[in-house]
Structure formats: structure tokens, C-alpha cells
Structure 1
Amino acid sequence: MRTFSAVLAMCLCAISAVAAPAKTVTSTPAELMYLGVWPHTILVVDANQEKVVDKIDLPTDIARTMLLSPDKTKLIVSTLRDNSILTIDLATKKIENCFSLNDGPSSLRIGGLTTDPSGRLLYAVGTAIDKKIDHYEIGEPKLMVIDLAAKKVTRSAEFGKDDAFTSQRASMKVSPDGKLLYMFRQSIFVYDTSTLKLVKKIELSKAEAPETASMSLSPVEDPNAVPGKVTGIFNSSDPYVHQRVFGIAEVDLATQDYELTPIGPSATSIQPLLMSPDRKYGYTVAIYGTNGNRVTEFWVFDMKTRKLLNKHEFVGRTRLNFGLTADGTKLLIYNAGFEIEVYDAKTLAMRSTIDLHGDTTSNLVVMPTAGK
């Protein structure tokens, strides 16, 4: 015979089984970002969780430059010491392709890297370094085409007197039809991708903005950029008192048209401009002064009126890079160091820090939100 307590327990269990509502498990979709860290690792960071969720170990060397493939399914990575190119499938995190550009005692140092719309070709500025018995011979920089299927440099061209190249690093973009290569330096150099010949030089110093001196553009993709266009910060100075001013530049890669909007007095240095998903707002970091007089600020722009809406001083690192999450809600400060500092895009106040457990070695690649 069952005791009263046993019957009561059974009844309570039955009641709870009927009355207890089913628990709904909700999860925020991952918003992934990729960043190279020492010694030879690419970290997978979830911006929503604000933590490292996975990692990819490289068989070669440290990741130096990383690109997202045009179809957003692969990560293309160049490494430093061995000058290798790797292609990583982001779904499986497996390395699909890997080859070195070095040839015995000769090495090929890569600076500046971009992909064509097909994702099969890379454009780069490469410098050959030959190891001799008692010295190294460093060649002149060349414009190069790297074929990912052939696993080698298939074409190269020397720079001429009109586009003489003295620095190894460059910011480059390819037009939507793949026919033109843009190289952003103190002027904008436009090349025919079939011949690697210079077809146009846009002299920013002769643009409507007075005495434009240089143009600063992001070396990595902005996930919220207008397709086929590049938006960045330019610096200029007037021809009379040489007062430096900055502004926002927009370049149409399909038509070669550009628009320069001067805004105000320039800072010592300004980070690349990154936009919110609706492209209503633009964000960057400005630095004034050096050493003990250094001041670091976030700047927020209205992208329609090209006006500075807000700025906020924060404790900046001696050397830093600026990033923005794809949803536009978080500002990111990284490099150099073992952490990513996360700031709220509305309040410009610090939210948290993400421990990377290693010093950063590459640019940050932010995956676009769904549908982009």
C-alpha cells in the first residue's frame, strides 16, 4: 500500500509536468571576426559574446595580412617570414591551399594585397630579396599578380617614373568588373589589370580640395562599405599658410569618379573610416600630439552631411588599430597588445576587453552581417 507521502509526491510531479512551461532556448547568432596572433595562430572572435571562441593554427608563420574572399567563404592570408599564401575555408576552418613565394635563397616580401572579383587572383606589391654570400640584394618593388590555382606569381611589372614606388606597403582595390586596379598613395594610381600598365593618375593635389597632400584608406574591407566604392579620410593643406585640414573622400571604382569633402583642422594621424550598417554614421580614431602630449579621440560623423557629430577622448595605446563590429554597435581597439578593447558606439564608453593570449600580428577581418 502506497503511503500518503508517496502519493503526494506523484501528484506534485504530475502537476509540475503539466503546469511547468516549456523553456525556450534563445541564442544570439555569432558575429565572427578573425585576427592573427603570435606565434602562428588566427583567433576566431565572437563580437556578440565578446570572447575568443575558436582558433586556427597555421603550419607556416605568423599571419601578416588577411583578406576575405569575394564570396565571403574563405580567408586569404599572407604570412611574414616564409612569405606564404594560405586559403582557409571558414566553414570547416581547414587550410585548402598553401604555398610559399620564396625560391631557394631568394625571398619575395609582399606589401599590399587585394583580390580580384573572381577570388582567383591576388594583386600585390612585391620586393625580391636575394641572399648572397656576405650580403642581401634588395630589388625594386614591382606590381605582381599571384594566381592561387597556379600557386605562384604569374605576371609582374616595374613601376615607371610617373608612379615610382618607394614604400612596400600600399592600399589597393579592384574595380567590380576586374578590369582596373586602384592603388591609393599620395595620388590615386589606376592600372589596367590585363597589362599592369598605368592608365590614369588622379592627382589629389590638383583636386578641388586645396593642395591635397595624401589620402588615408582602410587596408582591409569595411563590411558595411558601399559596394564598388571606397570611403576614407584624406589630408590636405592650403597653399598660403599651409594649415592642414582633413576631409572625407569617396571613390567610385567603376567610373573612376571621386568626391572630396573638406571638414576641418587635421589631427596628427587619423585611423581609417568605418561605417554603420545603414551607412548613416562613420567612425574613426584621431590622434593629436606625441609622447606625453598625446591625445586620442573617437570621432563620429554624419555620413549624409559629412559633419562631425561627436568626439570622445579615451586612453589610447602608443600604437593601435581601429575596428568596428559588423552591426555597428561596438568600436574596437587592437594592436599592439594582448587584448581587444571594446567600446560602445553610442556612448563611446568602454564595455569590456577580450583577452587574446598572444600579441596581435595582423589586421582584423570582420564578417559582414547576414544578407550583405
Structure 2
Amino acid sequence: MRGILFSLCLCLPALPASAAPSPATAKPAILYLATWPHKIDVIDLNQEKVVGQINLTTDIARQLVLSPDHKKLYASTLADNSIVTIDLATRRVTDSFSLDGGNEKNRLSGLTIDPTGRYLYAVDTLITKQIDHFDIGSPKFIVIDLSAKQITRSVDMPKDDDVPGYRSSMKLSPDGKYLYLFRDGIQVFDASTFRLVKKIDLRQPPVPDMLNLSLNLVDDPNEDPNTVTGFFNSSDPYVHREIFGVAQIDLKNLTFDLTPVGPVTTTSMSPLMLSPDHKLGYTAVVNGEQGNRITEFWVIDMATRQVIAKKQFVGRTRFNFGLSADGKKLLIYNAGYQVEVYDAKTLEMTSDIDLEGDTTSNLIVMPAGE
């Protein structure tokens, strides 16, 4: 029996639509995206080109995290497991330190920042190199003090829980008191003690005929910190008919609004992105496999939860989907050397942005005008 696959994405609010300013007066629409071999490209979507590059002297950036004040960018690198601090005003690396030491390496997932901007939280797996083998430790919660440049707290994950693996997603509450861990359920921990204070097992969610709900949260600084909007796929326990729908989760009150949309006709769906006024949702879907593979953009009316437009596009074998901060441009990136730009109204491709290197990280979309 196939269960529910619930893929969530934090949506990117933006400014209301208005008449397009002239290129000379247009405010910047900045994106940050790490590329091979060890740089971060600065992209202005108004100019639709790379306008700067930030060189990382350590290694490939695998995850980017924006500071709460939007003034700094933190990069987690792969081989040396460093945390690199970048000042966005000067576009320069201002600090870097490695979490590894001796024969020990740290593998991080779920990296998220607290509201003060001083601490990074993550799930860490310690790998110790011995003479003839590697010892793989149990996953732990860790806190990285950016001022002290080290891991200052490390706490075992709950013993009765499944191993979270490398794709754990986490988010801190707006007041920094609670840490939310998203996997096949929502677990809420006291951020100071890591004591489990609440658990909602979504493998048996409070919705009739839905099973095995799992979550995948992609953090973004422009989202309402209390809300997550995304898709779910489900199958009923009787005839196993699969459907998909739109879900909204209130992280503050841990309440759920799950609205079925229709039968599943796709192989996979990208995370849902909302327009600035939250009236429309956008996604990219894949139908079929190999030579029969078709990729499409879908537009969803968020009031009625209905698909109101579809359009095929030439999709890569593997890609990520994004949206500009003003909601006017759809973005296709990773893997590859380009970011493809599509008009959100016509769903037609307008340009591609050459990155001169393969993408290696998540996409950071700055709020409009920053």
C-alpha cells in the first residue's frame, strides 16, 4: 500500500504587483546560488544575469542560510564541514571555521538559524576514521555558536524515534523557544533543553482515509514564520486510489488544513510557491519516465484549490523549482549551468542565466528591493 507523500515548501511572499519600473530605476531582485567549484553567484533577476561572485576559499557550499536581518549569508561546506559567514553588503567572506577535528568529521542536515542570528541548529552525524574502518555515530541535535566558532551543545536524538538521515528539516519558532523537526511527523522540542514537548504523528493523521504522511520543509526567510503551505499525495486504504491536495500547517498552533484537489496523474511534484497576494500557487510537475517523460508548469487557484492552467516546458532530468520575490518569474535550476527564467503569466521561457558552473546549493531569494 502506498501512503501519503507530503512535500512542503515555505512560500515566498513579495510586494503587490505594479507597473514595471524602467531598468534604470528598477530595484534589485537578488538571488544567491552556490556553484562549482567553490563560489556563490549573485544574480539580479531584473537584469537576468550574474552581477557578482563570492569566492569560498574552503570548499563547495551545500547549504545556504540567510540571517534573520538579511545582512549575512551562512554557507555550510561539504568536504571540510566549515561554516562560512558572508557579509552581503560587501559580498565578502568575513569568517570561516571548520567543525571537524583530527579523525572526526561532522555531517550536518536540517541547518536553521535562531531569531537572534547567533546560533545555528542542525542534526549532526559524527563520522570517526579508524585504522581500518569508519565509525558512524548516532544522530544528535547540535547548536553551533557563531561567536564562539564551535559546537557548544550536543544532545542525543530521542531513542524511540527513527533515524532522521541527511534530509531532516528544522525550523525555530519566532521567539526561539521551540525547535520543530519535520519528517514523518512534527516533533516540537524545547530549544534550550531539547526536551520533547509535543509530537504529532502524521503517519496516522486526523483526516479520514489518509495514511503515512511525511514532511519535507525547505526554509526561506520570506515566509510567515507560523505557516507552511505545500502539497500532499495520499492513497485511501480501500482501493488505493491516489489523490493530491493542498495543505496548510499553522506552526504556532499545530493545526492543519488539508484540502484534496484531484487524482494523482504525475510522477512527482515540486514544492508549491505562492504569488505575493497568495491568490495563486505555482509548481512544476513531472509525468512519466525516461523517453515518455513530460514536464509541466501548473497554476493553482488557492481560493478554490483547483488547477486552472497547465503548460509543458522542456525540463531537465533533475531540477529544482523556484519563484522570484515579486511572483512574476518562475525559475528552474539545478542541475546545470543555467537558471531558466519563465514568465509567471504566460508560462513561456524568457531567458536563461549562465552561471559558468554547476549548481551545488539551495536557492536564496531576497525580499523584493533588498
Residue type of the alignment partner of 1:100 = S
SS in 2 for 1:168: helix
Q: Select between 276-285 and 56-65 the one with higher mean Cα deviation.
A: 276-285
What does residue range 19-58 of structure 1 map to in structure 2 within 5 Å?
A: 26-58=24-56
The answer to whether 1:97 aligns with 2:95 is yes
- Residue in structure 2 matched with residue 164 of structure 1 by the alignment: 162
Aligned length: 347
SS in 2 for 1:206: coil
Larger radius of gyration: 1
Could you tell me how far 1:274 is from its partner in structure 2?
1.4
Could you tell me how far 1:49 is from its partner in structure 2?
0.7
State how far apart, in whole Å, the 1-side matches of 2:224 and 2:298 are: 20
What does residue range 1-372 of structure 1 map to in structure 2 within 5 Å?
A: 26-204=24-202, 205-208=204-207, 210-221=209-220, 223=222, 225-266=223-264, 267-370=266-369
Q: Select between 361-370 and 195-204 the one with higher mean Cα deviation.
A: 195-204
Distance verdict in 2 for CA 1:125–1:227, change over 3 Å:
closer
Q: Deviations over 1:92-131 (max 9, x none)?
A: 1122221111011100011121111111111111110111
Q: Select between 85-94 and 193-202 the one with higher mean Cα deviation.
A: 193-202
Is the CA contact 1:216–1:272 (under 8 Å) kept in the aligned structure 2? no
Is the CA contact 1:33–1:47 (under 8 Å) kept in the aligned structure 2? yes
- Residue in structure 1 matched with residue 11 of structure 2 by the alignment: none
Residue type of the alignment partner of 1:314 = F
Q: Which of structures 1 and 2 has the larger relative contact order (alpha carbons within 8 angstroms, sep 6+)?
A: 2
Q: Deviations over 1:56-77 (max 9, x none)?
A: 0001101100011111111111
State how far apart, in whole Å, the 2-side matches of 1:216 and 1:47 are: 30
SS in 2 for 1:292: helix
Is the CA contact 2:142–2:154 (under 8 Å) kept in the aligned structure 1? yes
Q: Select between 254-263 and 61-70 the one with higher mean Cα deviation.
A: 254-263
List alignment gaps of at least 5 residues for structure 2: 1-21
Is the CA contact 1:212–1:237 (under 8 Å) kept in the aligned structure 2? yes
State how far apart, in whole Å, the 1-side matches of 2:218 and 2:284 are: 15
Q: Select between 101-110 and 252-261 the one with higher mean Cα deviation.
A: 252-261
State how far apart, in whole Å, the 2-side matches of 1:61 and 1:25 are: 36
Q: Deviations over 1:304-326 (max 9, x none)?
A: 23222212121211111111110
Q: Select between 254-263 and 328-337 the one with higher mean Cα deviation.
A: 254-263
Q: Deviations over 1:188-234 (max 9, x none)?
A: 222111111222221222221532433454423163x3342121222
State how far apart, in whole Å, the 2-side matches of 1:274 and 1:215 are: 19
SS in 1 for 2:106: strand
Is the CA contact 1:233–1:272 (under 8 Å) kept in the aligned structure 2? yes
Is the CA contact 2:272–2:282 (under 8 Å) kept in the aligned structure 1? yes
Could you tell me how far 1:363 is from its partner in structure 2?
0.6
Q: Select between 185-194 and 101-110 the one with higher mean Cα deviation.
A: 185-194
State how far apart, in whole Å, the 1-side matches of 2:330 and 2:43 are: 14
State how far apart, in whole Å, the 1-side matches of 2:216 and 2:268 are: 12
Q: Deviations over 1:263-318 (max 9, x none)?
A: 22233222111111222111111122221222211121122232222121212111
State how far apart, in whole Å, the 2-side matches of 1:213 and 1:287 are: 22
Distance verdict in 2 for CA 1:56–1:170, change over 3 Å:
same
Residue type of the alignment partner of 1:72 = H
Is the CA contact 1:131–1:137 (under 8 Å) kept in the aligned structure 2? yes
State how far apart, in whole Å, the 1-side matches of 2:365 and 2:64 are: 11
List alignment gaps of at least 5 residues for structure 1: 1-23
Q: Deviations over 1:122-157 (max 9, x none)?
A: 111111011111221111221211111111111122
State how far apart, in whole Å, the 2-side matches of 1:248 and 1:117 are: 28
Distance verdict in 2 for CA 1:309–1:226, change over 3 Å:
farther
Distance verdict in 2 for CA 1:25–1:264, change over 3 Å:
closer
- Residue in structure 2 matched with residue 12 of structure 1 by the alignment: none
SS in 2 for 1:163: coil
State how far apart, in whole Å, the 1-side matches of 2:239 and 2:353 are: 45
Is the CA contact 1:189–1:198 (under 8 Å) kept in the aligned structure 2? yes
Distance verdict in 2 for CA 1:209–1:186, change over 3 Å:
farther
Compare the two structures and name the one with the higher helix fraction: 1
